[in-house]
Amino acid sequence: MINQMDIKSKLEHLSKLTHFEIGASEENVKQKIVVPLLEIFGHNRNDLDFEYGSQGKRIDIFIKGLPIDCKIVIDTKNYNEDLSNHLEQIGIYAFQEGAILALIINGEEIRIYDPFFRGYSIRDALLFSIKREKLADDESIEILKGLLLKDNILNKSIKQFIIKREGEIQEANNKIESIKTETQKKIDDLQSEIKEISLKIDSLKEDEKNKTESIREQFKLNKVTIRIQDDVTQRIEPNEMQEYRTRNVFSKSSDRIEIGLNNLHSPKMYSLIPFPKKLRYFFPGYKVEFELETDVGVIMAHVSAASRGTKYGDPVAGTRIQGGLKKWYDSHTELRNGTILIISIIESKKRYSLSIL
């Protein structure tokens, strides 16, 4: 029976060896670290087959006398060689021998792989990584006893130890995937919110621009009115003056409006048509669908871009038309900033037509 204190004492000795005491070569690592480690856990040096031949390959250490379904292969490397560069090699050795475990060891680290971990490549089938300086830690001792103690291999309890570890790894990976999924969902939600905020900002900018243009137009109108009053007061009666202003300023047909695409980038990117608030009366209520006849077919559209909580059908909410406009924008590459769109009523609040001036 191997004494626990004896194991700990011998592992402490191995953990404290210096680079100089071990040496840099693969052979030094094999003889001064790996062989003593196996002896600590009950394996006789005579049970170790060095440079074991396997289908034209040479395995550094093969432990003889183990059950056919509990074989172990060991590959040793130079003191500070990168173990990750040799995983395919140890994987081939394990596959050829049908080994239950594959160990790859340098002067600083012991890695223990499960070659037949279902669904995992050899690179992802790492069961444990133990730094040599941590060999005498209680956790390391329990791992090494479970996987390397000769009695545990002979009675095949090693299999249960491996199965338990596989379950822990799968559970951890499932949690990682769950966290990734939740994180991606949060990212997608944030991007959606950012997009909505960007649309609202563009809408506010467009409203501000329309208000500014409206003020300028009103200012010009006032100047025209004053000039008309100054020039023709003696020749035009007051009621005739009002008729003159109405005819010249608001002469557009009531079943047709013109919308200028003064900032084409945002409408094209988000497939929408912004319109000034003063034209809101022209369209159906908020989110109420209507047909928009275009040169690429009939598009189902609705008025959008209102504050949160706005009720369906609100007659004054919203400042843009949205729906299946992407196809229409894609087919009109000639659109430029300042392009004028014409929207005409075919059937009030139900059917409209869209064209370019």
CA-angle at 150, arms to 144 and 153, nearest 5°: 85
For the stretch 275-292, pLDDT in tens is: 999 999 999 999 999 999
Q: Are strands 290-294 and 351-356 parallel, antiparallel or unpaired?
A: parallel
Mean pLDDT of 318-347: 94
Provide the token pair at 134: 């941590």
pLDDT at position 251 over 50: no
Contact 101, 126 (CB under 8 A): no
Share of the chain above pLDDT 70, in %: 90
pLDDT band at 220 (very low <50, low <70, confident <90, very high): low
Domain ranges of the chain: 4-156, 253-357
Q: pLDDT band at residue 1, thresholds of 50, 70 and 90?
A: low
Structure tokens at 144: 């090494």
d(CA 109, CA 138): 17
**Cα dihedral sign for 145, 146, 149, 155?**
positive
Cβ contacts of residue 112 below 8 Å, gap of 6+?
Answer: 101, 102, 103, 126, 127, 128, 129, 130, 143, 147
3-state helix/strand/coil string of 51-77:
EEEECCEEEEEEECCCCCCCCEEEEEC
The CATH number of the structural domain formed by 4-156 is: 3.90.1570.30
Structure confidence at residue 21 as a pLDDT band (50, 70, 90): very high
Model pLDDT, residue 282? 94
Task: Reply yes or no on whether the pLDDT at 232 is more than 50.
Answer: no
What pLDDT score does 223 carry? 53
Question: What phi and psi values does residue 101 have, to the nearest 5 degrees?
Answer: -135, 150
Mean pLDDT of the chain: 87
Q: Which two tokens stand for residue 273?
A: 């048509």
Per-residue pLDDT at 222: 58
pLDDT by residue (tens digit) across 123-164? 999 999 999 999 999 999 999 999 999 999 999 999 999 999
Q: Please tell me the CATH superfamily of domain 253-357, with its number.
A: DNA-binding pseudobarrel domain (2.40.330.10)
Q: How is 263-286 classified by DSSP, letter by letter?
A: S-HHHHHHTEEE--GGGGGGS-SB
